[in-house]
Structure 1
Amino acid sequence: MEQLPQELLRVIIDVLAPDNTNASREVLKTFQLVSKDCADAAAGVLFRQIPVWISRVSLENLKAVSEHPVISQHVREILFAPLRFVKGNIDELVVKVLARRAHLEILQERCAKYRFGLLQYWRDQALLAQDGQDLQMVTQALQILPNMNSIRIGPSLVGSADIGESLGAGTRRELSNNGEYTLPLLFRAMANAGTCLQSFTLDNSAKYVRPGGLSWLPALESRLSGLSSSAVCKAVDALGDKRSMVFGAVKSFQVPCFCTSKFSHEEIQNALSAVNELLAGCQNIDHFSLNVIHSGEVRTLTEVIPPEMPVRQSKLRTLDTGHMKASAMEIFSWIGLSCQTLETVYLYFVLIRPPDDWSVVLNLFRTLEFDRLQSFRLFGCDGSETAAVSVQVESYIKKLTDEDPIAQRLKLIRESRGIADANDSSESSWHTESSDESSFAENSEISSDDVWSAASSDETTADEQEDDTSTFSSGSNDEDGF
């Protein structure tokens, strides 16, 4: 095995671990034990992305990785979770744990572990922040990780094994995900360390994927909201005059789901301004994703996209954005600037101001040469309420067909509605004719289905009334690492 070339070792690794699941990672950990060469080859996959959150255990592991002469060379991306424990009344929280129905001896043991673990987290968190030790540890790690050039920020399962093992139980009230403290700390550390990013991802949606055997963080979904507007603004301010240095070389800028549904109008404006400030520092973006999800009035293109953005998109290859409104000429002028480089375009709920529509926009695009375009899809841009069905328009734009896909889509919608209306009329007529029979059947007896429905309803009500305390699980997953 010592004689195998690195190229062949990489092929073996691709076969053994085709994805980033727990099973694949366990296989690679075993593969590392075969030889030193195998260990080095597997390390490139195992340590390419490292999870970080502001806790003593996580920061000490980050320090160890950054100081390791071999492992530190493999780190390319930091997956940062803005989790932070919220200081509260420990007795009230323990009462919530006690409210869970369980065997008394097991419950007392669980509460003791929970109390000790939570107090320890609060104590460590305060000590780390008191003298700026957390900022110093992150800064030093970023300074000595030679190949780290990507930051991914957002809700994740980072820290789940650590928290699950320490607390054992939870009430969903211990943690915050708003990033008020943690996000500015990360940005300040990047500025202090002179980090030069090539990829940046910010996702404040509070959506979690439940891995097998792990229930602690998904249980928080109903309690935790995403990043706050002030956290984003404070983070950008923390960069100071180092914004261009940190973001100047960014090629991939992704804000795939920035949820502002709970923001006020002013908070939305502030958050968008902060994101646009980051964009202003990016000079050569080739992958751009920005989806600002909000309730209320739809934002205009000029409100979502900074005015200087078109000037900086001469090399844009991938565009993924939406939830805005614009005129036909605004969309044409904006996307048309990148027609020679664009390969993939996904637009979600981009509404065209009347009297124009997307057919007008597509006909304008047909006057340009999209030489590299492979996929151009519109999701919900026909005014429908779902993005489940997309309209592919690349063939029409590239003049490979003269059939307008928007007109075809609208025709299909009208036809389907016509059929549905006809079926509704037919069913209404049938119900009128058989109303007497239906009335007799309903009054004569209660079916077994009704009994089971009532039983299910009672069970559901009992479950809903049960305390929302959840048991933490200390199993492992792809992202819990530290």
Structure 2
Amino acid sequence: MDRLPQELLDLIAEVVNYEDLEPLRLVNKAFAAAAAPSLFEVIPLWIGNRSLERLTAISKHPQLSQYPKEIFFSPLRFIGYDNDTFYEDKAKVWLEDQPASPSTHACTLGEHMSAYRSYIEAQQLLSSNDLDVKILSRAFSLLSRVQVLHVDYDDTYIGSTELIHAFGTFRARDLLTCSGHHTLPVLLQALAASSLKVKVFELGSDITYTYSSTDCRVGNYSKGASLQRPQQSISEADFSYPDGISILALSRTFCAENFDMCNNAFSGLRKLHVGGIRVTQDDDATLSRIAAALRSLMQCALCIESVTLEEIWLYHHLEAVPQPTMSSVLPHGFNNIKQLDVQYYETTAEFLCDFFGRHRTIVKVDFYSVTITGSNWSTALKQLRTLDLVLLEVFILSFHDSAGHDVQVQDYILKRTDKDPLVEERKQSE
């Protein structure tokens, strides 16, 4: 084993399952060096005790600090109730159904109450004097190779190992929230105060990766079962995920008052991906707040004095309610936009012509279930043919009700053909 070249050990580590990388590092120094790049390439993070300790330790290590390239941040946080009787009552109800003696129940309840109080006290301490901001900003400044920051409020792995260790098999979900009221502003402040310049910022639920138990490299990095997964003794109807990031949290974080902070945080941004915002109701007031929050995010996170932003990805996940308009969230003034991906938005032919006319650097456009209001896509495409989009290479239209068919319309827009591709697609379907 000691005679194997380091290059071969590196290749072995690349095919090892993620959960086996940590034990592999314990074999010897050579395997430790081979497994480290893959093990520490992605850092799962939430504002929890062990998570912050791990982040700090990695950032201060002269070698390990060179490996992280991506950070997955979960806004998971304990709900600070006025008293802890709420949790105690929940725990007692759960324990009554467990096959154990009353004395065992009493010990388990004591352990749970101790863990809950410990986390609440830790949160209060971290919040005082912006200690959580300072810890994160110091670590971010030392992780110079990180280029991607994901804020995934649908993740059910980040923090689960730590909380399962503290609470055992009892599900603490009734105490958890992903609202982001505290955690999202803290993340922005820490990023702005650090020297880290991320190139990719993704905000939303499960934008890039599909998390599953078979995903050995990214998504199963916590090496622990999800806290939100029901135990066998608990029915499906008895569990639910913590709520997603709230509209209020987005509005407070990406608001005009925080423009300078956003400018510092995202001045090196090249890709901005914004996923669907989870809401619990679809009334007009809620939809109006969604549009306002998205507009605030776009105006603050995109209207920066930067020529580096190249890709915008917008996804609205509510299909049964009125869709937000592209004009309400996409400001003008991008200097180097090359790719635009949009799903479940509304727009007009006039806005598209105005936007693409102003941004002739566009190379690729991918629209999924984007609705043209007051007209139709054939009319919009005819108007786009009047533009001189010399750099355009791909323009894809696909629709929710078209069996997943993608229609490439760039040749028609660029006047390489006079046949409307949408009309041709309908003929073939018929």
Distance 1:279 1:261 in 2: 28
- Structure 1 gaps of 5+ residues are 18-22, 416-482
Amino acid in the other structure paired with 1:164? I
If the length of structure 2 is used for normalisation, what is the TM-score? 0.79
Is 1:165 matched up with 2:165? yes
Deviations 1:114-144 (A, max 9, x none): 2232222222222222343222211221222
Amino acid in the other structure paired with 2:349? A
Aligned-pair CA distance for 1:53: 0.8
Deviations 1:375-402 (A, max 9, x none): 624233xxx4x88444344555566766
Distance 1:353 1:245, change over 3 A: same
Q: Which residue of 1 aligns with 2:326?
A: 301
Amino acid in the other structure paired with 1:290? L
Deviations 1:280-300 (A, max 9, x none): 125321221112345643332
**Structure 1 contact 210–218 (Cα < 8 Å) conserved:** no
Deviations 1:274-321 (A, max 9, x none): 212111125321221112345643332211212x2xx315341x3211
Q: Which residue of 2 aligns with 1:133?
A: 131
**Structure 2 contact 78–119 (Cα < 8 Å) conserved:** yes
Give 2:75's match in structure 1, choosing from 77, 82, 85. Answer: 82
Is 1:241 matched up with 2:260? yes
Distance 1:240 1:406, change over 3 A: closer
Task: State how 1:46-445 maps to structure 2 within 5 Å.
Answer: 46-88=39-81, 89-104=86-101, 107-155=105-153, 156=155, 157-168=157-168, 169-170=170-171, 172-204=173-205, 209=211, 211=213, 214-219=225-230, 222-237=240-255, 239=258, 241-260=260-279, 262=281, 264-276=286-298, 277-281=300-304, 282-294=306-318, 296-306=321-331, 308=332, 311-316=333-338, 318-335=339-356, 338=359, 341-343=362-364, 345-354=365-374, 356-366=375-385, 368=388, 373-374=393-394, 376-380=396-400, 384=401, 388-394=404-410, 396-397=412-413, 403-411=419-427, 415=430
Distance 2:105 2:293 in 1: 44
Aligned-pair CA distance for 1:41: 4.5
| Larger RCO (alpha carbons 8 Å, 6+ apart) | 1
Distance 2:340 2:5 in 1: 41
Deviations 1:362-384 (A, max 9, x none): 3444564565625624233xxx4
Distance 1:387 1:144 in 2: 48
Distance 1:118 1:249, change over 3 A: same
Distance 1:218 1:289, change over 3 A: farther
Amino acid in the other structure paired with 1:236? F
Amino acid in the other structure paired with 1:50? I
Aligned-pair CA distance for 1:225: 1.9
Aligned-pair CA distance for 1:67: 0.7
Amino acid in the other structure paired with 1:225? D
Distance 1:346 1:221 in 2: 36
Distance 1:131 1:365, change over 3 A: closer
Using the aligned pairs only, state the percent identity: 24
Report the 3-state secondary structure (helix = DSSP H, G, I; strand = E; otherwise coil) of the residue aligned with 1:217.
coil
Distance 2:101 2:324 in 1: 55
Report the 3-state secondary structure (helix = DSSP H, G, I; strand = E; otherwise coil) of the residue aligned with 1:186.
helix
**Structure 2 contact 160–227 (Cα < 8 Å) conserved:** yes
**Structure 1 contact 2–35 (Cα < 8 Å) conserved:** no
- Structure 2 gaps of 5+ residues are 215-223, 231-237
Using the TM superposition, name which of 110-119 and 68-77 deviates more.
110-119
**Structure 2 contact 25–33 (Cα < 8 Å) conserved:** no
Distance 1:119 1:208 in 2: 34
Report the 3-state secondary structure (helix = DSSP H, G, I; strand = E; otherwise coil) of the residue aligned with 1:170.
coil
**Structure 1 contact 208–217 (Cα < 8 Å) conserved:** no
Amino acid in the other structure paired with 1:352? I
Report the 3-state secondary structure (helix = DSSP H, G, I; strand = E; otherwise coil) of the residue aligned with 2:422.
helix
Aligned-pair CA distance for 1:98: 2.4
Amino acid in the other structure paired with 1:70? Q
Amino acid in the other structure paired with 1:278? A
Distance 1:119 1:370, change over 3 A: same
Report the 3-state secondary structure (helix = DSSP H, G, I; strand = E; otherwise coil) of the residue aligned with 1:257.
coil
Distance 2:399 2:239 in 1: 26
Using the TM superposition, name which of 154-163 and 87-96 deviates more.
87-96
Amino acid in the other structure paired with 2:137? T
Aligned-pair CA distance for 1:173: 0.8
**Structure 1 contact 304–324 (Cα < 8 Å) conserved:** no
Larger-gyration structure (1/2): 1
Task: State how 1:29-48 maps to structure 2 within 5 Å.
Answer: 30=24, 33-36=27-30, 38-48=31-41
If the length of structure 1 is used for normalisation, what is the TM-score? 0.71
Q: Which residue of 2 aligns with 1:457?
A: none
